[in-house]
Amino acid sequence: DTRWEFKIIRDPIHGYIGLTEEEVKVLDTQPMQRLRRIKQLANAHLVYPGAIHTRFDHSLGVLHVAHRLACQLAFDDDQKRLVRLAALVHDVGHAAFSHVGEKAVQYFTPNAPEDVHELVTREILLGHSDVQAVLGESAQKIADLLASAKASVEQAVVSGPLDADKLDYLLRDSYFAGVQY
């Protein structure tokens, strides 16, 4: 389906990943570009030297897997667009050292929620001017989809028991760590 392929990126896990013009603009924002410097597996590269892949790489993979799931579930184009964007930005709130960094925040801020990066993701989606300029009103829909207490099929694709996030990181992390999965 070429309507999702304004640009194409070659990924070592999924092969070719098609991106829309809007998704390319989201990727070009500062909050998404900073994910290129955040390792997916924090300091695991000290034991597994190949595990130097980033949250940026992972975000592209999650978008791809979410799209494949959305197609299998016969989502309409609006649902696909929203799910793809939510998948792309789902980790934009991660800080350095990923989940390890969240533990430090929780240690020094006892009232901080367990998944601090989810709150930061929401703040970036709703408050960062570059992201707002690209997503406009869709930013609120994406933030709501990522944090909704009300379950939906769209939410389950991005954040559920067997979601695109898990499907990508299981493949990606094992591949770059050099272990069979």
- Residue-wise pLDDT for 96-139, tens only, equals 756 556 565 555 566 655 566 678 888 999 999 999 999 999 99
At residue 98, the pLDDT reads 62
| Average pLDDT of every residue of the chain | 88
To the question of pTM greater than 0.85 for the whole model, the response is: yes
pLDDT at position 14: 97
DSSP readout, 41-93?
TTTGGGTSTT---BHHHHHHHHHHHHHHHHHHTT--HHHHHHHHHHHHHTTTT
Catalytic positions: 117
Per the model's pLDDT, the better-predicted residue between 18 and 180 turns out to be: 18
